[in-house]
Amino acid sequence: MRIQKLDRNSRQNLLEDLLKRSPNNYGQYEQGVAEILARVKEEGDAAVFAYTQKFDHALIHSGNVQVTEAEIKEAYNQVDDSFVGIIGKALHNIRNYHEKQRRYSWFDSKPDGTILGQKITPLQRVGVYVPGGKAAYPSSVLMNIVPAQVAGVEEIIMVTPPGKDGKVNPNTLVAAHEAGATAIYKVGGAQAVGALAYGTESIPKVDKIVGPGNIYVALAKKAVYGHVSIDAIAGPSEILVVADETANPRYVAADLLSQAEHDELASAILVTTSSELAIKVSEQVDTFVRELSRGEIIQKSLDNYGYILVADTMDEVIEIANDIASEHLEIMTKDPYNVMTKIRNAGAIFIGEYASEPLGDYFAGPNHVLPTNGTARFFSPLSVDDFIKKSSIIGYSKEALALIHEDIEAFAEAEQLTAHANSIRVRFEE
Amino acid sequence: MRIQKLDRNSRQNLLEDLLKRSPNNYGQYEQGVAEILARVKEEGDAAVFAYTQKFDHALIHSGNVQVTEAEIKEAYNQVDDSFVGIIGKALHNIRNYHEKQRRYSWFDSKPDGTILGQKITPLQRVGVYVPGGKAAYPSSVLMNIVPAQVAGVEEIIMVTPPGKDGKVNPNTLVAAHEAGATAIYKVGGAQAVGALAYGTESIPKVDKIVGPGNIYVALAKKAVYGHVSIDAIAGPSEILVVADETANPRYVAADLLSQAEHDELASAILVTTSSELAIKVSEQVDTFVRELSRGEIIQKSLDNYGYILVADTMDEVIEIANDIASEHLEIMTKDPYNVMTKIRNAGAIFIGEYASEPLGDYFAGPNHVLPTNGTARFFSPLSVDDFIKKSSIIGYSKEALALIHEDIEAFAEAEQLTAHANSIRVRFEE
């Protein structure tokens, strides 16, 4: 794995390299996605089924688009009981964590009759996109459904592309059923996003669409933003390890590769103050790559977006960590909580040598749907917050309004909004 | 004002009419906006200044693009001291309300060494768009800046288009200074959004862009979503009054007009169980329209999107209120808090006959930047939440990981992610 000195040049190259992976760079697909969405909006089911035949090579129609109870039973028959048990344990932890994110309506009252507040209401119906094929991850099903359920969403509609045989991956179905999806439809791609955004004869319109997908799904979500809400636009996965000389090079190397294996656009970066660690990690990476089943993907990903950077000071390490704003950030230093306090930008922060990134992917409880590609500067992990909305509450008495009515009228007049002023004035005209 | 019976037909017509106002219907401007953004990204200041000359007819360059302290002083000289005082009182209430929205980092620990948490970090730098010209509303300046400030944002960059003389409305400047903008630039339109999203020689790149604007600004914000975060996409203003026979028709009429005066796309709707109230409100509206200075705009807005609907029952009234999902919802009934409990979708809910909508626009404290055009189904008022992001915190001990390491490995293997499994396994290989 390449080792570089962290300096102005390597820093600049790295940051530019990483941004090449952005879903913002695929404008050339926008027109195609727009056509799919327009046709789904116009023709509904007919368009959705035609695209499913074209892209997924599956014959789906109104009679088989929704997954039946019999299909879910069949999926349970195909999945090991022990795996169902593991899903149950993971769900327990994920629910516990997300329960702590619950929001409550509040109000503040004054004895003059003033009541101000913020009312929390769950979204009524949401769509969860789940990729099919080689990226069919049951853990993602859990991570997208649980926060919606904890928020109190009544209808959680899952969509996922079928295989050529018109079937859905059994692990996906079992995970969806365990997590509590209320309906599952066998559609994928931009056409599934269109169906959820506009509604079709078979598939209900939702309030928000969440879940990862390929570039077509990402662009479709962005295009329907405003008709519905969406979660953050997901890019390729990434890990950044911040380490000093106390880190175990074997653990660091293994953790870097856990993200590099995702796909060739994934990024794995170590930034360290120890050149000795840098060399040992690089050697250990080479050993692992030879041993691991996904060695080929890993090697491509490392060649493209893998870096070991050696910095002079921990302050420099922290500075570049904040510039990169990584999806996953591991801190393996002698005083990791101290370093954590200085991290502004990261999706999830893993602290200490036993907080390995895959612990967060599957089991610890925090959500694994995280901001990627530098968007941790402004986006957050998927959470219960994504599935609620707020309404302001304003109650006033005549007594309370009387104290300020002239100020409000003057403010409205200053903005030349005379009907605004009038609506206050009429209450005090006698 | 037109009065209709609430039935399937009038309901359908109304909902379709309202959606015609959606910013989603202006795809024809997307290409022009994309060109402006691309040129600003490529050419920076030069493009921004050229567009400012073209659209705002103002000569702006790097020497005068940022508002100076002298210009702020000059603005104070032009604004009444009494108005500065009123701004101060409004700010006090707005800050108090938003202080209650503050979020805190939390963690949960177990004696086996597990620490899970959620770290809250303010965004570092945000951009606030403030319209110029006839829609220069100092109240909007306060409402966009205060939540950012309460959240702890270090740099609050305001942009607003200059007049032909290269100056900014003095009320806007005074409001910005009182609220705490850290820098103000004289640029507007899609070019200002591009400058904030990509950064130019004069204008710094931000993490999020908020604030209302015309259709070009709205489309530009949507286009840069992902490079930066944005607030909800704003549409024309609207008010929905829910009332029974106990409501004061003069108050209802005055409040309807307070929104109708905004522009010709604004919508003002009364839904009531009382046909007597309907008639009285309609008459009172006619009287007011003749008296008010913005009568012409009001009349057009009412002709386009103004309705009085008479329903048989309060349940029907509530149902259509939830379907409309209005930006502003006033409840003037005998038991308004009871009705409030049944409202799922509304930006702000005004309760009782003294909670007139303009009270919320200027003074009560809750934010007046609210979801419009049915998006209250999934969007929320602008709040402190818009100016923070979250990072998950995951700390584990060897002891804690030991209890579950085999489950994690099995889960990763089930997803065929062998490097994920490996990263856990190496920690227990001796």
Whether residues A376 and B391 touch (CB distance < 8 A) is answered with yes
What phi and psi, each to the nearest 5 degrees, are found at residue B209?
Answer: -120, 125
- Residues 6 or more apart whose Cβ sits within 8 Å of residue A319: none
Q: Given A225, A367, A423, which is nearest B254 (Cβ)?
A: A423
In terms of Cα–Cα distance, which of B69, B68, B51 is closest to B60? B51
Confidence of residue B157 (pLDDT cuts 50, 70, 90): very high
Query: Would you call B81 exposed, middle or buried from its count of C-beta atoms within 10 A (0-12, 13-18, 19+)?
Result: exposed
Highest average pLDDT, of A126-135, B245-254, B293-302, comes from B245-254
Catalytic residue selected from B328, B330, B368, B409: B328
Residue A426 to chain B, least CA–CA distance (Å): 7
Residue A225 to chain B, least CA–CA distance (Å): 8
> Is it true that B3-22+236-364 and B27-230 share their CATH fold?
yes
Lowest mean pLDDT among A204-213, B61-70, B232-241, B317-326: B232-241
Q: How many whole angstroms separate alpha carbon B307 and alpha carbon B302?
A: 7
In terms of Cα–Cα distance, which of A255, A363, A246, A251 is closest to B116? A363
DSSP letters spanning A308-358: EEE-SSHHHHHHHHHHHT-SEEEEESSSHHHHHHT--S-SEEEESTT--HH
pLDDT of residue B236: 87
Instruction: Write out the catalytic residue numbers of A.
Output: 327-328
Query: Annotation-wise, does B262 bind a ligand?
Result: yes
CA-based end-to-end distance of chain B? 82
In terms of Cα–Cα distance, which of A218, A224, A222, A233 is closest to A197? A224
H/E stretch holding B281 reads helix B275-291
In a 13 Å sphere around the CA of B252, the CA atoms on its Cβ side amount to 29
User: Is the distance from CB of A394 to CB of B329 less than 8 angstroms?
Assistant: no
H/E stretch holding B285 reads helix B275-291
Tell whether the torsion through CA atoms of A289, A292, A295 and A298 is positive or negative.
negative
- Which residues of A are less than 8 Å from B82 in CB distance? 410
Structure tokens at A353: 């040598």
pLDDT of residue B213: 86
pLDDT per residue over B259-294, tens digit each?
A: 999 888 899 999 999 999 999 999 999 999 999 888
Q: How many whole angstroms separate alpha carbon A276 and alpha carbon A261?
A: 25
DSSP letters spanning A141-203: HHHHHHHHHHHT-SEEEEE----TTS---HHHHHHHHHHT-SEEE---HHHHHHHHHH--SSS
Catalytic residue selected from B261, B327, B353, B409: B327
pLDDT of residue A430: 74
**pLDDT surpasses 70 at B64:** yes
Q: How many whole angstroms separate alpha carbon A317 and alpha carbon A271?
A: 6
At position A196, the amino acid (one-letter code) is L
DSSP letters spanning B335-389: SHHHHHHT--S-SEEEESTT--HHHHHHTSSS-S----TTGGGT-----GGGGEE
Whether residues B420 and A229 touch (CB distance < 8 A) is answered with no
Q: How many whole angstroms separate alpha carbon B172 and alpha carbon B339?
A: 38
Q: How many whole angstroms separate alpha carbon A180 and alpha carbon B97?
A: 37
Q: Please, what is the Cα angle at B407 between B403 and B409, to 5 degrees?
A: 115
Strand blocks (E) in B200-335: 208-210, 229-230, 238-243, 267-272, 306-310, 328-332
Whether residues A123 and B377 touch (CB distance < 8 A) is answered with yes
Q: Helix or strand or coil: residue B394?
A: strand
Average pLDDT over residues B43-62: 97
Size of the A and B interface in Cβ pairs below 8 Å: 359
Query: Annotation-wise, does A304 bind a ligand?
Result: no
DSSP letters spanning B120-145: EEE-SEEEEE---GGG--HHHHHHHH
Q: Indicate the average pLDDT of chain B.
A: 94
Residue A219 to chain B, least CA–CA distance (Å): 11
| Owner of token pair 């909670």 | B355
As a 3-state breakdown, chain B gives helix, strand, coil percent values, each rounded to 5, of 50, 15, 35
Whether residues A83 and B348 touch (CB distance < 8 A) is answered with no
pLDDT of residue A135: 61
Label residue A377 left, alpha or beta by phi (over 0 means left) and psi (-120 to 50 means alpha).
alpha
- Residues 6 or more apart whose Cβ sits within 8 Å of residue A313: A273
Query: Annotation-wise, does B101 bind a ligand?
Result: no
Tell me the sheet residues that pair with B239: B268, B328
**CATH homologous superfamily of A3-22+235-364:** Nitrogenase molybdenum iron protein domain (3.40.50.1980)
- Which residues of A are less than 8 Å from B229 in CB distance? 375, 378-379
- Which residues of B are less than 8 Å from A82 in CB distance? 410
Tell whether the torsion through CA atoms of B329, B333, B334 and B339 is positive or negative.
negative
Q: Which positions of chain A have pLDDT values less than 50?
A: none
**CATH homologous superfamily of A27-230:** Nitrogenase molybdenum iron protein domain (3.40.50.1980)
* Antiparallel, parallel or unpaired: β A328-332 and A306-310: unpaired
Q: Pick the residue from chain B with its C-alpha nearest to A346.
A: B391
- Which residues of A are less than 8 Å from B390 in CB distance? 380-381, 383
At position A309, the amino acid (one-letter code) is L
Q: How many whole angstroms separate alpha carbon A340 and alpha carbon B42?
A: 36
pLDDT of residue B135: 61
Q: Pick the residue from chain A with its C-alpha nearest to B104.
A: A101
* Other residues' Cβ atoms within 10 Å of the Cβ of residue B177: 20
Domain positions in chain A are: 3-22+235-364, 27-230, 398-428
Mutation pick from A114, A411, A430 vs chain B, by most beta carbons of B within 10 Å, is A411
pLDDT of residue A348: 98
CATH topology assigned to domain B3-22+236-364: Rossmann fold (3.40.50)
Tell whether the torsion through CA atoms of A352, A356, A359 and A360 is positive or negative.
positive
- Which residues of B are less than 8 Å from A87 in CB distance? 411
